[in-house]
Amino acid sequence: MPVNPTVRSRLEAQGFCGLDDATLEELSPWLRWTYTIGTLVTLIGVASMSPVVLWVLAAITSAGIFLPFHPFDLLYNYGARILTGTRPFPHSGPQRRFVFIVATTWLIATGWMFYIGAPIAGIALGVPLIVVGALASITNFCIPSFIYNTVTARRTRKGTSRVRH
């Protein structure tokens, strides 16, 4: 069964390219996993105005910049997927690494605002971060990936799942 073209397009925009329909159909609901966990932890950090929660999440997220995966992917690959009987996540592409750069920076800045006693600024930074994460978690539309693809002119070719360089 072919994957919904909108879902395919949004996941390819995040760098999950070259996946056949069967793989994408199986993984597409789970590829929101990392964004969802990150968004929930961000929500906790902002709601509690905790720089520590936000900075710990920033440290975890920053690992995804340098590794071929996000640490939360490991929770899926070595835990949840065993229960679901699905295959492991593919490695991150440059779009997803860019997402982790943006998220890490944003988390640090939001935490800093709470740390210095500027809760209004912390909330003003944190709520949009939660909204961006929730958007990716719910719809697979990732604003930082869209920005990356626009700035670098990366596009998927119609009818294929390869990225033009």
**Which of 126, 92, 121, 134 has its CA nearest to residue 106?**
126
**Full DSSP string of 82-140:** HHHTPPPPPPP-HHHHHHHHHHHHHHHHHHHHHHTT-HHHHHHHHHHHHHHHHHHHHH-
CA–CA separation, 150 vs 15, rounded Å?
A: 13
State yes or no: pLDDT of 27 exceeds 80: yes
pLDDT for 60-108, tens place per residue?
A: 999 999 999 999 999 999 999 999 999 999 998 999 999 999 999 999 9
Closest CA to 124 of 74, 49, 55: 49
Task: Report the length, in residues, of the chain.
Answer: 165
Q: What is the pLDDT of residues 109-132, one digit of tens each?
A: 999 999 999 999 999 999 999 999
CB 123 within 8 A of CB 117: no
pTM summary value: 0.88
Query: Which pair of structure tokens corresponds to residue 83?
Result: 């229960």
